[in-house]
Structure 1
Amino acid sequence: MALVHPDGSWLSVNPSLCHLLGRDAAGLLTTDFQSITHPDDLASDLGWFRRTLAGELEGYEIEKRYLRPDGSTVCALLSVALVRDDDGKPLYFIGQLQDTTERKQAEEELRRYSDHLNELALQDPLTGLPTYRDLHAMLDTEIERSRRYHRRWSVVLLDVDAFRSINATEGHVAGDRVLRQVAAAIEEASRASDQSARIGGDEFALLLPETAGADAERTGRRIAPEVAARTDGASVSVGVASWPDDGQSKELVLLRANMRLQAAKPLASNGAAPKAGPAGSSGIRRILSLAREQLGMDVAYVAELTPTSQVYQAVSGNADSVRVEEGARLPLDATYCHRMLEGRIPHAVPDTAHEPELSELAITTAAGIGSYVGVPLELSGGRVYGTLCCVSHSPNPEIAEGHVELMRFLAGLVSDQIERDERELTDRGGGAGGAPARHRKGGRP
């Protein structure tokens, strides 16, 4: 307890106050409370002090810090009342202090622990990277910034090839070690401004601000050797997409990055051997599965067109239900794809019953095809390999231009894969001999 003059100097102090402040009574009485108040608390304390002197308040109560001679800080709850004479003139303040140092320390420790828990909740506990939720928050921020300043950005999606096999053969401890090594490799291969996250079991993402196109692709390629150097031969597949080139929304950019990732995965990752022909690889089959999934269609297929016929090279879905069989050959006039390439039907047909060019075809009536989406497969040099198509039994009124745009994107992935597979066949000595003739873009198939 203490008595304080209206100018702030100490008039009287008791032993408990001296003990709390670590000072003797004689020393305190030669100074004022301002000189031993923590600088960060002084302005607030003086504000209440002056308002009380001005008669706005009868007293006040605040928490504040005092400085001890040894440099340490003590926290106290200060209760102040002003005593005036009969004329209302201020005589002195009565101040009572309660030591709150331990309570404040406990509160601070609790706050730090709470912050630590929040940090853990926002981080993947295995790798220390941000999580899927954080990635979406990052993307929202980046889209807003890029729209304001007319910038571009990209996202790189990665996953560990054959990760289930690592867990199955070497154990989950080894699998966890690989994930930590991959996370470290991504961090090592990225810039300080890039932001990485673990978004699934063996899936990672890297946000590249102000980076697009070839620069983003180079970053994606740079990660693979870094992973190989840090692990015992593990590899990653990579898919890259850019905003706004691949879409105006984060969802569409992520979707297209994921589609490129799926198309890039090694053929052996699903245990299926590729067929001899270029359009029968498991990479293309994965793209067909994506097409069915994203469009909600029953069957997706790659059709190769020759001057006289159409050949079903790869099929995904219940092919029997629509009488589409891999390797089957149909006359051109009996197919949807030929008509689509000639411009006789649109790329998207929500209901074949309303399209005269299709409603009477045998494939429509026999297989009961109700809806169709198809786009050309264009190769380098202006060649048209054939078409990428999806069909369903039921009419689908939801089919629109957005579905066609997505199919065109997937067709680009299929075309790239066909040309890669053709090169691999040539390198293995298989050549392209015997392959049906391709068609020039814009020409009659």
Structure 2
Amino acid sequence: MNGLSDGPAKGLQAQLEQALEQVRRLRMIIDGSAAGTWEWNPTSHHMQVNARWAEIVGYTLEELQPISSDTFERLVHPDDLQRSDAQLQAHFAGETPFYECLVRMRHRDGHWVWVQDRGRVCEWDAHGAPVWMAGAHADVTDLQRARQEVAGARQRLQSIVDSSDEVAVIVTDEHGTITLFNSGAERLLGYRADEVVGVASPVLFHHGQEVEAFLRTLPADEVAGRDLFGVLSGRAREHTYSRQWTFLRKDGQHRQVRLSISALADAQGEVTGFVGMATDVTEVLQARAEARLAEEKFAGAFTSAALGMALVSLEGRWLDVNDALCRIMGYSRNELLQVDFQRLTHPDDLDADLAMVQGLLRGERAHYHLEKRYIGREGNVIWTRLSVSLVRSEQGDPLHFVSQIQDVTAQHASEQRVLQAEQRSRITLDAVTDLVLSVDLDGRIEHANAAAVRALGGPDGAPLHGHHVGEMLQLTTEYAPLSPLDLSVLLDPDSNAVDLHSDLLLVQGGENMPVDVSQAWLHDDAGALRGAVWVIRDVTQLRARQREARQLAEMDPLTDLVNRRGFEAHLQQAIAHVDRTGQAASLMFIDLDQFKPVNDTWGHLAGDAVLWAVANVLRHGVRDSDVVARLGGDEFAVILAGCSLRRARRIAGELLHTIGGLSIPWEQHRIKVGVSIGIASINTGMSVDEAVAAADVQCYRAKAAGRNNVQSEPLGLESPPEFD
């Protein structure tokens, strides 16, 4: 029996020793990890912690007694306590497998300690409520401080990148996929960042033929199956590689850029990506070509088109400068670091620059741009485009400025040449006979050439500048010569009034002069519409020739009636009049009966005599305001403006009777002729073809009814009022 009982006892003892060994090892692991442990009853709020837990916040266990939930809540930062409670409740509700929260706890010395708090419920009661849970504290203050330093460095780098709207900054990973695309790159290339980041390579922006020509110049072992990015990144791994390239914008435009590529490395020196900085030198190169600059130094500066950069202290001293800025200013790096920017700024630009700086410091703006002048080492004036941003700490305190300086001296000189060209243009305009007016959007005259002053300034040629164009100029139309045109309509960019009026008249001294007005819009430097230029030309002789040609083109030479072309134009006008006024109008189609035998029996001259006689009846049988046309052969038409179907039928009956009574003498014979007449209303919304078809149908009905009669639409269809 003793032998049988000793076996289980020894087994139980072995299990106990094994459990104690596991507890001992667990405590060794916890002590080695420098973690503070805790156990907590959520119901009773009783809490147990180890010595390390208390040590993290600068206390001993005895100093913290009695320890409960209140101890934790008293030490945790108020801004973090609510977040911690939310994480606990999420864990209790089963939404998360464990509780975890990064909190700040007040150290006994008064500073804050960053603590990573993590735990989980180890036992639940029968109702699903937590009975007790356990966890650990880890001091991550050093890690959090490092994170903050990294965030600060990133912020400073981002400030530099964000202020570089004059430089395209493109960052890629080591495989060539774009990871950063700043506003300068968007401005240069026309792509948005979200269109290229993560999906495209910088090779997208290169000119294909130029790339092929470049790769052909390289040794075969350097290319070795690599694309352009592979070649350039290979060179950039050794040192910054710069070259001028042709970039293709999204809209297809070509831009000449100076591209510098550098490698990015991690703390171990491993390359993690590449950064490219591209400066648009298109305008610089064009200015150099136009000006044919002979000086090699100046031409070299434009070819490199490097951008000057500087870090500037809050007091205005240059903390660091690059070689490009030294070249722009004419000083060595050591010389520039001994002075502040105020000493080298042109006196007339200093106050504006300092005001912008104060605005940055007060937080009124994140960055500013300014065109300002510097005084070079030789006393020369350097025109620059300055971009400045302020770098702040994580707490928002100002640290230093980042300045970018682009030399635009040549561009400024080019603008001066443009101003001189404008002066020459004004002299040229004064020599032309056309009236030229420049007006703003409010209708105020900004410039008038000599011809305009002579024509509109009265007998004394008074200046027109500053006057409203409506006070000096009156336009009307041939269609309504007594109704002045509202000139404000001509200054509405959404109006096409100038294009609509081909019959403009200029009122001068009580007389109307036919004119053509052409208009060109003026924009400011930002592209916003600011006014227009009007050119007014005397077209009296041209308008007379056009009328004569139009009359010849729209008249039938046999009958002196309107031909088909003129008929369609008049019918279109009649339809438009009905649409505009609602006034009744009718269309009459007239076809001669048995006209072919006249030609066959007596010849075409006899037929012409019949056509002339019928045309004469039609001409005198309607009002002067009505339009009588010969459409061809023996077909005629009459457009009856302001005439209802009822009245049109009455007129048609009179015409039918008169034509039926014609007896046209011809070679001892008398020729008689009959007509079939069809009438249709001209209704709102009709097209020319629809109106012609409607009248033609009624004319066919008249022929089918035995000829020599009148047919029309039912009288009940007409709705517009009649104006006789």
Measured against the shorter chain, the TM-score band is 0.3 to 0.5
Structure number with higher relative contact order (C-alpha < 8 Å, ≥ 6 residues apart): 1
The structure with the largest alpha-carbon Rg is 2
TM-score of the superposition, structure 1-length normalised?
0.39
TM-score of the superposition, structure 2-length normalised?
0.26
